[in-house]
Amino acid sequence: MASNNASKAVAVARQFPILAQSSWISQLFQALIRLFRHSLQNPQVAELLRFIFLGTVVETSRAIGVKMVSFVNSFFLVKASFKQGELSYEWVSSFLEQHKVWNQSRTFRVVARNAKQVANKDLALAGNNDGYPEAVYEPSVSEPEMFWWRRRHWITISKDEKEGASTLTLQVWSRNRKVLDEFVKEARDLYMKSERPPPRIDYDWSQALIVAHFNQSDFAFDWVQDYLQSENIMADANEFTVSTKQNDVGWNREDPNQIIRYVPTSNTKQRLRWRGHWLQVEFVIGYEDSNGRTTGGSINITLHSTDRSLLTQFIEAARVHYTNASISRVTVHLTDNYGSWARAVTKNRRAFSTLILPTGVKETLLADAKEFLASEEWYTFAGVPHRRGYLLYGEPGTGKSSTIHAIAGELGLEIYFISLAAPGIDDYTLGRLIRDTPSRCILLIEDIDCAFPSREDDEDEEPLLDAKGNIIPREPAPPRSQVTLAGLLNVLDSVASEEGRLTFATTNHIEALDPALIRPGRMDLKIQYGLATTEQLEQMFDRFYPYNPDLADDAGPSIGCYYDVAIRDRRVRLSAEQLLDLGRKFAGAVPKSKYSIAQLQGYLLSSKNDPQAALAGIGAWMEAQEREKREIDEMKKRRRREAAARREAEERMERERERVEGVGYEAQAQEKEAEEAPEGDAEPEQAFSGQASPGTGVTEIVTG
Ligand SMILES: Nc1ncnc2c1ncn2[C@@H]1O[C@H](COP(=O)(O)OP(=O)(O)OP(=O)(O)O)[C@@H](O)[C@H]1O
What sign does the CA torsion over 518, 521, 522, 528 have?
Answer: positive
Pairing of strands 499-507, 386-394: parallel
Q: Where are the alpha helices (DSSP H) in 328-421?
A: 361-374, 376-382, 400-411
User: Atom 31, ligand 1: which residue's CA is nearest?
Assistant: 402
- The residue-averaged pLDDT of 641-669 equals 81
Distance, in Å, from the CA atom of 374 to the CA atom of 556, rounded to the nearest integer, reads 50
Please, are residues 438 and 219 in contact by the beta-carbon 8 Å criterion?
Answer: yes
Distance, in Å, from the CA atom of 258 to the CA atom of 260, rounded to the nearest integer, reads 5
What does each C-alpha distance from 676 to 36, 681, 702 come to in angstroms?
Answer: 145, 10, 19
Residue 620 pLDDT greater than 90, yes or no: yes
ipTM score for this prediction: 0.98
449-475 tens-digit pLDDT:
877 765 444 455 566 566 666 665 555
DSSP 3-state helix, strand, coil percentages of the chain (rounded to 5)? 45, 20, 35
Chain centroid, CA 13 distance in Å = 100
158-177 tens-digit pLDDT:
888 887 788 999 989 888 88
For ligand 1, the distance from its centroid to the CA atom of residue 401, given in whole angstroms, is 6
Distance, in Å, from the CA atom of 213 to the CA atom of 300, rounded to the nearest integer, reads 5
DSSP 527-577: EEE-SPPHHHHHHHHHHHS---GGG--TTS-TT--EEEEEETTEEEEEEHH
Please, are residues 390 and 524 in contact by the beta-carbon 8 Å criterion?
Answer: yes
Cβ contacts of 391 within 8 Å, gap of 6 or more? 448, 504, 505, 506, 507, 510, 518, 523, 525, 526, 527
Look at residue 200 in the predicted model and tell me its pLDDT. 81
Look at residue 185 in the predicted model and tell me its pLDDT. 95
**Amino acid, res. 333:** H
- The residue-averaged pLDDT of 85-92 equals 87
Nearest to 507 by CA among 520, 498, 517: 517
Q: How many CA atoms lie within 13 A of 576 on its CB side?
A: 10
Distance, in Å, from the CA atom of 55 to the CA atom of 198, rounded to the nearest integer, reads 54
DSSP code for 113: E
109-156 tens-digit pLDDT:
888 888 777 767 777 787 777 878 888 888 776 678 888 888 888 998
Distance, in Å, from the CA atom of 256 to the CA atom of 250, rounded to the nearest integer, reads 9
10-37 tens-digit pLDDT:
565 566 555 555 678 888 988 998 888 8
Look at residue 355 in the predicted model and tell me its pLDDT. 93
User: Atom 16, ligand 1: which residue's CA is nearest?
Assistant: 399
Please, are residues 513 and 575 in contact by the beta-carbon 8 Å criterion?
Answer: no
Nearest to 676 by CA among 690, 666, 692, 688: 688
Q: How many CB atoms lie within 10 A of CB 433?
A: 20
Distance, in Å, from the CA atom of 244 to the CA atom of 263, rounded to the nearest integer, reads 10
Please, are residues 604 and 540 in contact by the beta-carbon 8 Å criterion?
Answer: yes
532-545 tens-digit pLDDT:
999 999 999 988 88
Report domain extents, the chain: 2-73, 77-193, 210-326, 341-530, 556-661
Q: At what angle do helices 427-435 and 485-493 cross, to 10 degrees?
A: 10
Q: Tell me what the pLDDT averaged over the chain comes to.
A: 79
User: Atom 23, ligand 1: which residue's CA is nearest?
Assistant: 397
* 528 band by pLDDT with thresholds 50, 70 and 90: very high
Q: 341-530 — its CATH code?
A: 3.40.50.300
For ligand 1, the distance from its centroid to the CA atom of residue 397, given in whole angstroms, is 4
User: Residues 571, 574, 576, CA angle at the centre, nearest 5°?
Assistant: 150
* 484 band by pLDDT with thresholds 50, 70 and 90: confident
Cβ contacts of 189 within 8 Å, gap of 6 or more? none
Pairing of strands 442-446, 499-507: parallel
- The residue-averaged pLDDT of 491-520 equals 83
For ligand 1, the distance from its centroid to the CA atom of residue 328, given in whole angstroms, is 20
350-399 tens-digit pLDDT:
888 889 999 889 999 999 999 999 998 898 888 888 889 999 999 999 99
Please, are residues 262 and 250 in contact by the beta-carbon 8 Å criterion?
Answer: yes
Which atom of ligand 1 lies closest to the CA of 529?
A: 21
Distance, in Å, from the CA atom of 605 to the CA atom of 601, rounded to the nearest integer, reads 6
Distance, in Å, from the CA atom of 451 to the CA atom of 447, rounded to the nearest integer, reads 9
Look at residue 695 in the predicted model and tell me its pLDDT. 36
Please, are residues 116 and 132 in contact by the beta-carbon 8 Å criterion?
Answer: no
User: Atom 4, ligand 1: which residue's CA is nearest?
Assistant: 355
* 556 band by pLDDT with thresholds 50, 70 and 90: very low
pTM value is 0.61
Please list every protein residue whose CB sits less than 6 Å from any atom of ligand 1.
Answer: 354-357, 396-402, 506, 508, 529, 597-598, 601
Nearest to 240 by CA among 209, 208, 214, 263: 263
First CA to last CA across the chain, in angstroms?
A: 170
- The residue-averaged pLDDT of 343-348 equals 79
For ligand 1, the distance from its centroid to the CA atom of residue 483, given in whole angstroms, is 26
User: Atom 29, ligand 1: which residue's CA is nearest?
Assistant: 598
Distance, in Å, from the CA atom of 448 to the CA atom of 71, rounded to the nearest integer, reads 89
